[in-house]
Amino acid sequence: MTDNTITQSPDDFDWFKNNGIYMPMINDTGRNIAYKAAIERVAPGSVMCDIGTGTGLLSILAAKAGAKKVYSIEMDPGRAKFARDMISKLGITNIQVINKNFLRCNRLDIPDDIDYFISETIGNPIFNENIVDLSKHAKQWGGTFIPGKIEVTAEIYKNHPILPLVYAESEAFEFQPDVYIDETFEKTINDSFQEKHPADSTLYRFNMINNLFQQLPGFEMNDIDLKFNCEYKHEPFVVDLNDPDIDVNEIKFEITHNEKVSDLPRYCMNGDFAIVLKWQAHMIDDIYMRVEDTIWGSPAKTILNRTRDKTKNVAIWYDHGFQNWRLTY
């Protein structure tokens, strides 16, 4: 009997860590276009630092765009080794890979002042990969953090059968980033991935479809029910990652409601509704990245009418310790 079990050493790049998200992530066209545009805008002659380098993709883009020096920070040993080997294979000499948690880095690790930091440490709950803490720690080296700002908007939708359908699928058999990086880089990524993982094991899927079937019986499926419109949009909350006084515990929205004045739509008086958090990253200058253009999701919370105190405001805020959004209503 043939043993098809895939074994890996601690120094291997684990493509299936975190539910196999890595290949879909580096294939993310919207993300790649936005970061490449921002890097090419600022890289020439700059000293840069890539926080959470992974395969080395952003660091390599920075070096190819003319950066004077790139510090490439990666805390995972397997990913750091992969990035170091990749950079060596490409013959790039101005990238230094540091296998360390950036929050523990100091001036001994990175002796130079930094002109620009780049980091794609944005998760589905937006701030759960500690991008705020990373940007604050970066202040000791000076420079500008990219993305510069993250703008979050709270939108209200009527309860709808599509809301519980959180379904992402990517047949990630190969690296296809949709932006040109380097032929050797792309071939090395594919060789590494396909050597360790046969094609029939490379489907990334995150599926909460059971929630859909739990809710469908309660809906009348007619044209009115199937309309999916934003009923209310709160003013954006702007998180400035270059502000030295930024406080992750102050990221919150409050939607007022009382007998005289209400920001909530009339139907929210009697029915369930959902608050969806849409965001966009202001990279630099006129370069933006919208959540709709990436594989990231938008956090959503359902307000159940039967448990809601209709005399109180609805508040939603980011809980840094919990690394997710919380509600009171």
Q: What is the CATH number of the domain that holds 75?
A: 3.40.50.150
Asked whether residue 279 carries a pLDDT value surpassing 90, the answer given is yes
Q: Which residue, 39, 203, 210, 239, is CA-closest to 126? A: 239
Asked whether residue 96 carries a pLDDT value surpassing 70, the answer given is yes
Same domain, 21 and 129: yes
Same domain, 214 and 84: no
| Encoded tokens for 319 | 């809980």
Same domain, 161 and 267: yes
Give pLDDT, residue 283: 98
How would residue 116 be classed by pLDDT, with cut points 50, 70 and 90?
very high
Whether 173 maps to a domain, the answer reads no
Give pLDDT, residue 90: 97
Give pLDDT, residue 174: 72
Same domain, 185 and 243: no
Interval 289-317: pLDDT, tens: 999 888 887 787 777 777 777 777 888 88
Interval 24-61: pLDDT, tens: 888 899 999 999 999 999 999 999 999 999 999 999 99
Indicate the number of domains in the chain.
2
Distance in angstroms (rounded) separating the CA atoms of residues 276 and 110: 39
Same domain, 190 and 223: no
Same domain, 26 and 144: yes
Same domain, 135 and 226: no
Higher pLDDT residue, 297 or 182?
A: 182
Number of Cβ within a 10 Å radius of residue 76: 18
Same domain, 289 and 315: yes
Whether 199 maps to a domain, the answer reads no
Same domain, 92 and 126: yes
Whether 12 maps to a domain, the answer reads no
Whether 6 maps to a domain, the answer reads no
How would residue 100 be classed by pLDDT, with cut points 50, 70 and 90?
very high
Give pLDDT, residue 31: 93
**Which runs of consecutive H residues, i.e. helices, occur in 197-298?**
209-215, 223-226
Beta bridge partners of 301: 275
Whether 139 maps to a domain, the answer reads yes
Give pLDDT, residue 44: 98
Higher pLDDT residue, 3 or 42?
A: 42
Asked whether residue 150 carries a pLDDT value surpassing 90, the answer given is yes
Whether 189 maps to a domain, the answer reads yes
Amino acid at 301: K
Q: Give, to the nearest 10 degrees, the angle between helix 57-64 and helix 29-42.
A: 40
275-286 per-residue burial string, b: 16 or more CB within 10 A, e: under 16 = bbbbbbbbbbee
Same domain, 211 and 316: yes
Average pLDDT over residues 140-158: 93
Same domain, 36 and 143: yes
Same domain, 214 and 182: no
**Owning domain of residue 303:** 154-165+204-328
Give pLDDT, residue 101: 97
Whether 7 maps to a domain, the answer reads no
Model's pTM, two decimal places?
Answer: 0.83
Beta bridge partners of 150: 239, 281
Give pLDDT, residue 109: 98
Whether 47 maps to a domain, the answer reads yes
